[in-house]
Structure formats: C-alpha cells, structure tokens
Amino acid sequence: MSTLVNFFDCNSARLGTGTPSCDIPTGVPTGFFLVPKTWRLDTTTETFDSAYITAQIKAGTMIPFLGAINFTDNSEESVIYTTQLGVKLLARDGKPEFTFDFSKGYCFHSAAFSYNSFGSYDVILTYDNGVVFMAKATATSLKGHTAGLVNTGNFVHRDGAESEKSLVMIQLTNPNEYNSQGALLDPVSNGFDIEAVNGIIDVTLGFTGSGTDYVATITASCNSAIDISAIDAADLRWTGLVAGDSAVTVQTVVYDSVARTFAVTASATLTASVATLGLQLISAGPPIEPVAEIPASSSILYKGSGKLA
C-alpha cells in the first residue's frame, strides 16, 4: 500500500442526515459520572447494567454526581471571524460547558469540592429519563466525554427564597467528540436505573480494646448520630498488622443498639504493634480505598478506617 501525502478525504466524516423511525430520546440533564481518562467500556464483553455501575463505583472508577435540581447550558458559541471581504470563517468550535445545581447539603458540597481539577476526569452525562450519554472511543468501546475543568463553586446558603446549593461546572474540551461521536444508552435495554445509584458514604471508625476483644464505633462522617448498624464480620478486617499477626481476622461482630457500639472479636490475640492496628471496611475487589456494600446487594456503599485508640 502506498503512502498518501497531503491527502485527506473531507467527505469521509460526513454523516447521513436521515433519521430512523425510532431514536433513543434524550431528556433534561440531571447529573453526570466522573470517570478516569483511561476508563473504557468494552461493548462486546461488558454490560452497562446496575451491577456494573455498582462495581465501578465501589472500585472508585465512577463517581456519581446525580439528582441535580437545575441545569444550565453555558456552552460557548463557535468563534467566527469576518474577513475584509465580508466572508465568515470558522476560527474554532465552541466548547460545551454545563453547570449543575445540587441541593444536597454541606457534606455533599465538601465531597464535590474535593474533585475540583483540570484534565483529571472524563464525563458521562445522565438525563431525567434515565438515559446516559457517553462517547465512542473505538468501534467496540465507549468512554466518557473528554473534560477539562471540573469546578464546584462556593457553597450557596439559603436566602429565604431558595434552598442551599452547590454549583458544579464542567467543561468538555473536544467539541467534535461531543457533537459527532456521542453514544446513548437506554436504561431498559441495558438493565440499569440511574435513580437507584448511590455514591459512597464516608464513615468514621474508632475502637478500643486489647487481646481478642474490642469495642468499635462506626458512624457516618457527616453526622455522628447516624450509625451503621448492619455491619457484620464479613465487612471488616484488621489492617496495619505486622507479619506475626497477618493471619488474624475479624471473627464476630455484635451490635449493641443501646450503646450504639460493636463488640468485635479477633480470631486470635493480637500481640504485636496493636497501636498501629486499623479496622477497615472492605470489598471483594481491589479498589484504592476498600469499600463495603451494607447490607449485601443493597448498592449502599461505605468506606472508612480507624486506628486503635
């Protein structure tokens, strides 16, 4: 095959303007997922269903920002300039930019603010009818839309007319991808429900004791009055152990509803470096920060850890 120099087929990117009798409808954007730049969905081997979404959230590869109360399209107009002859030419395509208003309190705001970044994530958009909007990476794989700035502004307080708000802005940096390489996924056809998706809840964990017997408290970090009572032995493990204690596991966990504490029993006496012992929620997978699904198969996810007091 020969090498084609200074050759580009301008017609190869032209698409037909006819439409099928039935197309996947979009709705009003109500949120998005942040995904790593390297995230890909193989459409030949993977199914984007509820179980897949939960597993991705548990692994920290999909971060949900869902349930926005307002959406504003601040997309830039294409930059056009006019020559001295009055002919208009395209300087560059305008970049899509969206702002989502969330009214989920200060804890959500703090979490959203922690994701402020540039060029760290791509974006999967979600609609009020449950459809999600991705981008085509290859003929057999999908990705998030290429994003640049992700920014949560200052917390907006109640003013007597409106509730508190967190305004999260995202800018997409590849207009061609957004406008010509989009991919819509229908929730019914694929078996997912965006309204049932939960983000990870941070917990504060502390415990005291010695030998094999410990007393632990496990509460929501945003509100210590909320304890996580459904935890069992399968949801916990010891961390920070030295080699001699590496085989010790959590044997039993019993919740005291009056004291709001857990009686935790180790499978053997922890004899070395107990001051560095950590009790941590875990999952079956290998995420960066272990996550537990409590109760099992509930899609309600928690993460947190604590050291011996």
135-147 pLDDT, tens digit each: 999 999 999 999 9
**Which residues are paired to 100 by β-bridges?**
71, 168
Mean pLDDT of 272-300: 60
pLDDT given at position 8? 46
Which phi and psi (to 5°) does residue 73 adopt? -95, 105
- Tell me what the pLDDT averaged over the chain comes to: 84
What pLDDT band is residue 286 in, cutting at 50, 70 and 90? very low
- The residue-averaged pLDDT of 87-111 equals 95
Contact between residue 277 and residue 270 where contact means Cβ atoms under 8 Å apart: yes
Residue 289 lies in a domain: yes
This prediction's pTM: 0.84
- How many CA atoms within 13 Å lie on the side-chain side of 168? 31
Same domain, 164 and 217: no
**Is the domain of 120 the same as that of 262?**
no
Q: Above 60 in pLDDT, residue 235?
A: yes
Which DSSP state fits 171? E
- Residue pair 205/216 in contact by the 8 Å Cβ criterion: yes
Tell me whether strands 200-210 and 301-303 are parallel, antiparallel or unpaired: parallel
CATH number at residue 251: 2.60.40
Q: Are residue 192 and residue 219 in the same domain, yes or no?
A: no
For residue 251, the enclosing domain spans 200-307
> Does one domain contain both 162 and 34?
yes
User: Is the same domain home to 280 and 250?
Assistant: yes
Confidence band, pLDDT 50/70/90 cuts, at residue 170: very high
Cα separation of 303 and 283, whole Å? 9
Inform me whether the pLDDT recorded for 274 exceeds 60.
no
Residue 123, in any domain of the structure: yes
Residues 66 and 174 in one domain: yes
